[in-house]
Amino acid sequence: MNNFTVSVDADGIATFLFDVPGRTMNTFTDSAVADIDAIVAKIRDDDSIKGAILASGKANGFCAGADLGELGETAGGQASGAAREAALPATSRMTWALRALETVGKPVVAAIEGVALGGGFEFALAAHYRVASTKARVGLPEVTIGLLPGAGGTQRVPRLAGVQAALDLMLTGAPVDAEKAKAIGIIDEVVEPGQALAAAKAWILAGGEGVQPWDRKGYVMKDGPYSEAGSPVFMMVPPRIMSKTYGNYPAQKNIARCVYEGFNLPMDAALRVEARLFLDTQQSPQARAMIRSLFLSKQALAKGGARPAGVPTYAVKKAAVLGAGMMGAGIAYAQARVGIDTVLIDVAQAGADKGKAYSEGLVAKAVAKGAMSQQAADDLVGRITATTDYDAIKGADLVVEAVFEDRALKADVTKRAEAQIGPDAVFASNTSTLPITGLSEAAERPANFIGIHFFSPVDRMELVEIIVGKATSQETLAKALDYCKQLKKVPIVVNDSRGFFTSRVFDTYIREGLEMLIEGIAPAIIDNVGRMTGMPRGPLELLDDVAIDLVDRVAGQRRIDLNLPAPVAGDTDKFLIDMIGQERWGRKNGKGVYDYPQGEPKRLWAGLAEMHPVKISQSSPELIEHLKQRLLYRQAVEAARCMDENVVTAARDADVGAILGWGFAPWTGGPISLIDSTGVAEFTAACEALAAQYGERFAPPALLKTMAEKGERFYPAPKPLAA
Ligand code: NAI
């Protein structure tokens, strides 16, 4: 055994401590899975052993799940038929190891402190009894990366918790705390932190039996699909899944199939059903894309991604935020939350205080929910100094500027702040539209000037877009990445350009929706199709949310900067201007593409049809597919242009930025992943066809054409499954 240590005490109780060498958190690597066989052999063959405890040797939890590095390599290979059958023994190895564990003939208990997730929780589910500390969190989050629990979870959880609770757990992927887990029957006993091992032992000594309920004679699963309680649950499953996923995610459907097809079978047969469906799911392009972007790439970026080497780690102890408005207040909170002393500055004391009050409000809510102690809340708020005095910035390691979007004002506060800080301190602008290189011209030390673009609301949005200007030094970039890591954000790095990466590509989604509107496609079709692609909202709804006047202002500035002609009828810019002419600013004044009558659901604005009469009000499967393709490909081709122009230098920054930044359809793994799984050549050809029909906006950049010719891809191809 390489990943477990075993000790047997005087009472004949063997304790197996899970402790993967060289890692802070346990995961089930192939090597750890192989160890389960050795655990079973030891329990079975050592006559001095009366019962066994499975626990963790790590301080920070039981086990985080399968090793996704390994699982991700072969994901998405689309093996089926004979290849799938040949691979089954290897891919279902953990399933059968755990089946041997639960039928070993002696009592086995899992003692859970901290997190037990995914494969880690499935390991615990194979025990005959589960003790968890009050601080434990358990769950099956596989669905969030396009997988299903493939080591017995889809069979054991419904048998323990019933169908409804099992589907809730597996279809949302959200972990639950120990009390909730006990309430639904997947944990047997909850104890104080540090007491799980003792309680596990006590259960064995009290005569706990080593037989699973489903292996007892006459076992009938409660709430099966044909029972009174289970049948309505099952009837609702397909519509429930479809209304949320529009068929984009095979994992959800296959989880439901596992439960439905497995519930009535003996455990061995049920596990075979799960093993096949797991492999089908793991071999889907969605699983590959989601494991990569939502886990591996995201984690790599959170650790600093391609941080320039040779710069010592920069620890920000004191930081200033200029402008205590919506963004500044959020940034101040994000800093104080991780222990950074924060100076929050505004022109009037009342404004600065209001910014600080935002943090006070957030911590008050957290205390009320029991998620934060009063002391921690007081400490957090105590770290924020709200003032109008720029002298208070002295000694700051970093300054974030978040004043109004105005070049002259930004230049002024840059100078004032720079006068107070040391020569090594970083000055960052949170501008959402102004090019960083231009802003840095106001700075005394442009090499220390960088864009750190946060997203709203700052406390909830994980993404940060770092913008490197022409003058920005590599050292400043490294420091900015360290700061993001301190804030526990996920940074992507882009080179300076109009709209940077996120705003530029996101804009194309709204624009394509407007093109459709101008063509006369019914708005309801446009917004529905938007959601069907997997985007969180339709493009027209989003335009209202973002605010039409804001999009119009950015477009107007672009025309001035690039010396573009005035827009004419049929242009999307003209549509925006016409809307503003009628004071239709979007959701913020209750008047946009939709009307927002108080207390009633939104409804389409009647005047819209006068501007652009509806010509197509009937949808068909062909039309829907075509419109879906337009909405997704328009964004993907723009993302590819960003790579072509070196605005984004790595596919993973584009993909993670798109999903975390504006909710780009997660099942695709992001716009660049979408191009890869479509096939670069196929995607490029499709864009050329769209360009012939709709114009240059779909024209593929040189990068794609070259890659298509050479047969290249952005990410490595899946490795074939080992037989
Ligand atoms: P806001 O209007 O809510 O806040 C701006 C604040 O700056 C106001 O409180 C104002 O009193 C203060 N201010 C003005 N002059 C100042 C000075 N000389 N010294 C100190 N404070 C001064 O604006 P918001 O939305 O917070 O935006 C701030 C910046 O962040 C802008 O550059 C914006 O483009 C950018 N941004 C905005 C996002 C959003 O979703 N609203 C997202 C990402 C970036």
Choosing from 404, 410, 506, 507 the residue with most ligand 1 atoms within 8 A of its CB, the one to mutate for a pocket test is 404
Does residue 330's CB lie within 6 angstroms of at least one atom of ligand 1?
A: no
Contact indicator for 446, 436 with CB cutoff of 8 Å: no
Q: How far apart are CA 347 and CA 352, in angstroms?
A: 8
Does residue 403's CB lie within 6 angstroms of at least one atom of ligand 1?
A: yes
Does residue 637's CB lie within 6 angstroms of at least one atom of ligand 1?
A: no
Identify the CATH number of the domain in which residue 610 sits.
1.10.1040.50
Q: How far apart are CA 300 and CA 415, in angstroms?
A: 35
Does residue 409's CB lie within 6 angstroms of at least one atom of ligand 1?
A: yes
Identify the CATH number of the domain in which residue 153 sits.
3.90.226.10
Of 453, 471, 497, the position where a domain reaches its end is 497
Does residue 324's CB lie within 6 angstroms of at least one atom of ligand 1?
A: yes
Q: How far apart are CA 651 and CA 356, in angstroms?
A: 38
**Domain assignment of residue 24, yes or no:** yes
**Domain assignment of residue 296, yes or no:** no
> What pLDDT is recorded for position 184?
96
Q: How far apart are CA 110 and CA 56, in angstroms?
A: 9
Pair 470, 574 in one domain: no
Does residue 347's CB lie within 6 angstroms of at least one atom of ligand 1?
A: yes
Q: At what angle do helices 153-161 and 267-282 cross, to 10 degrees?
A: 130
3-state secondary structure of 621: helix
**Domain assignment of residue 295, yes or no:** no
Q: How far apart are CA 66 and CA 130, in angstroms?
A: 20
Does residue 456's CB lie within 6 angstroms of at least one atom of ligand 1?
A: yes
Please provide residue 453's backbone torsions phi and psi, each rounded to the nearest 5 degrees: -95, 105
Choosing from 345, 346, 506 the residue with most ligand 1 atoms within 8 A of its CB, the one to mutate for a pocket test is 346
**Domain assignment of residue 355, yes or no:** yes
Q: How far apart are CA 228 and CA 139, in angstroms?
A: 27
**Domain assignment of residue 692, yes or no:** yes
Give the position of tokens 């007491």: 195
Does residue 432's CB lie within 6 angstroms of at least one atom of ligand 1?
A: yes
**What's the gap in Å between 331 CA and the centre of ligand 1?**
11
Average pLDDT over residues 256-272: 94
Whether 610 shows a pLDDT value over 90: the answer reads: yes
Give the position of tokens 């972990």: 175
**Domain assignment of residue 310, yes or no:** no
Q: Determine if the peptide bond prior to 701 is cis (ω within 30°).
A: no
Encoded amino acid at 194, one letter? G
- Domain count across the chain: 3
Q: How far apart are CA 262 and CA 260, in angstroms?
A: 6
Contact indicator for 435, 463 with CB cutoff of 8 Å: no
Pair 147, 173 in one domain: yes
Does residue 323's CB lie within 6 angstroms of at least one atom of ligand 1?
A: yes
Contact indicator for 161, 221 with CB cutoff of 8 Å: no
Chain center to CA of 388: 37
> What pLDDT is recorded for position 222?
75
3-state secondary structure of 358: helix
Query: Quick one: which atom of ligand 1 is closest to the CA of 410?
Result: 18
**Where residue 85 falls among pLDDT bands split at 50, 70, 90?**
very high
> What pLDDT is recorded for position 319?
98
Pair 539, 464 in one domain: no
Instruction: Establish whether 626 is a catalytic residue.
Output: no
Does residue 327's CB lie within 6 angstroms of at least one atom of ligand 1?
A: yes
> What pLDDT is recorded for position 541?
97
**Domain assignment of residue 142, yes or no:** yes
R_g over Cα of the chain: 28
Residue owning the nearest CA to atom 31 of ligand 1: 405
**What's the gap in Å between 431 CA and the centre of ligand 1?**
8
**Where residue 365 falls among pLDDT bands split at 50, 70, 90?**
very high
- Catalytic-role residue among 128, 453, 612, 626: 453
What is the pLDDT of the chain when averaged over all its residues? 96
**Where residue 403 falls among pLDDT bands split at 50, 70, 90?**
very high
Per-residue pLDDT tens for 641-699? 999 999 999 999 999 999 999 999 999 999 999 999 999 999 999 999 999 999 999 99
Encoded amino acid at 610, one letter? E
Q: How far apart are CA 639 and CA 631, in angstroms?
A: 13
Pair 265, 341 in one domain: no
Pair 460, 532 in one domain: no
Indicate the burial class of 579 (C-beta count within 10 angstroms; 0-12, 13-18, 19 or more). buried
- The H-or-E segment that residue 132 falls in is strand 129-133
Pair 333, 400 in one domain: yes
Identify the CATH number of the domain in which residue 326 sits.
3.40.50.720
Average pLDDT over residues 105-126: 98
Query: Quick one: which atom of ligand 1 is closest to the CA of 405?
Result: 32
Does residue 226's CB lie within 6 angstroms of at least one atom of ligand 1?
A: no
Choosing from 333, 345, 403, 439 the residue with most ligand 1 atoms within 8 A of its CB, the one to mutate for a pocket test is 403
Per-residue pLDDT tens for 317-334? 999 999 999 999 999 999
Whether 277 shows a pLDDT value over 80: the answer reads: yes
Q: How far apart are CA 262 and CA 369, in angstroms?
A: 39
**Where residue 402 falls among pLDDT bands split at 50, 70, 90?**
very high
* Percent share of the chain, pLDDT over 90: 93
The encoded tokens of residue 562 equal 């690039």
Q: DSSP state, 217?
A: T
Residue 558 neighbours by CB distance under 10 Å? 15
Pair 109, 223 in one domain: yes
The encoded tokens of residue 379 equal 């400490």
Per-residue pLDDT tens for 213-238? 999 998 887 777 778 888 888 888 88
> What pLDDT is recorded for position 567?
97
Whether 70 shows a pLDDT value over 90: the answer reads: no
Pair 241, 358 in one domain: no
**What's the gap in Å between 380 CA and the centre of ligand 1?**
22
3-state secondary structure of 186: coil
Pair 94, 192 in one domain: yes
**What's the gap in Å between 638 CA and the centre of ligand 1?**
28
Pair 338, 396 in one domain: yes
Residue 549 neighbours by CB distance under 10 Å? 18
Contact indicator for 179, 136 with CB cutoff of 8 Å: no
Whether 723 shows a pLDDT value over 80: the answer reads: no
Give residue 240's domain range.
Answer: 4-283
Q: Can you list the alpha helix ranges (DSSP code H) found in 464-613?
A: 474-486, 502-519, 523-532, 539-546, 548-561, 572-581, 608-611
Q: How far apart are CA 359 and CA 12, in angstroms?
A: 54
Average pLDDT over residues 140-150: 97
Q: Does the ipTM exceed 0.95?
A: yes
Pair 273, 338 in one domain: no
Sheet holding 318-322, edge to edge: 384-387, 341-345, 318-322, 398-401, 426-429, 449-454, 463-468, 490-495
3-state secondary structure of 92: coil
Distance in Å from the first CA to the final CA of the chain? 24
Does residue 457's CB lie within 6 angstroms of at least one atom of ligand 1?
A: no
Average pLDDT over residues 188-195: 97
This prediction's pTM: 0.95
- The H-or-E segment that residue 177 falls in is strand 176-177
Pair 212, 248 in one domain: yes
Q: 329: which strand partners? A: none
Of 265, 283, 301, the position where a domain reaches its end is 283
Contact indicator for 164, 223 with CB cutoff of 8 Å: yes
- Give, in degrees to the nearest 5, the angle at Cα 361 between 359 and 362: 65
Residue owning the nearest CA to atom 9 of ligand 1: 325
Does residue 451's CB lie within 6 angstroms of at least one atom of ligand 1?
A: no
Average pLDDT over residues 344-367: 98
> What pLDDT is recorded for position 264?
83
Q: How far apart are CA 149 and CA 388, in angstroms?
A: 54
Query: Quick one: which atom of ligand 1 is closest to the CA of 351?
Result: 9
Query: Quick one: which atom of ligand 1 is closest to the CA of 345?
Result: 20
> What pLDDT is recorded for position 229?
80
Query: Quick one: which atom of ligand 1 is closest to the CA of 348?
Result: 11
Q: Which range, of 107-116, 122-131, 240-249, 573-582, averages the lowest pLDDT?
A: 240-249
Average pLDDT over residues 600-617: 95
Q: 7: which strand partners? A: 15
**What's the gap in Å between 322 CA and the centre of ligand 1?**
8
**Domain assignment of residue 288, yes or no:** no
Q: How far apart are CA 522 and CA 668, in angstroms?
A: 26
> What pLDDT is recorded for position 722?
82
Query: Quick one: which atom of ligand 1 is closest to the CA of 354?
Result: 9
**What's the gap in Å between 401 CA and the centre of ligand 1?**
8
Residue 1 neighbours by CB distance under 10 Å? 16
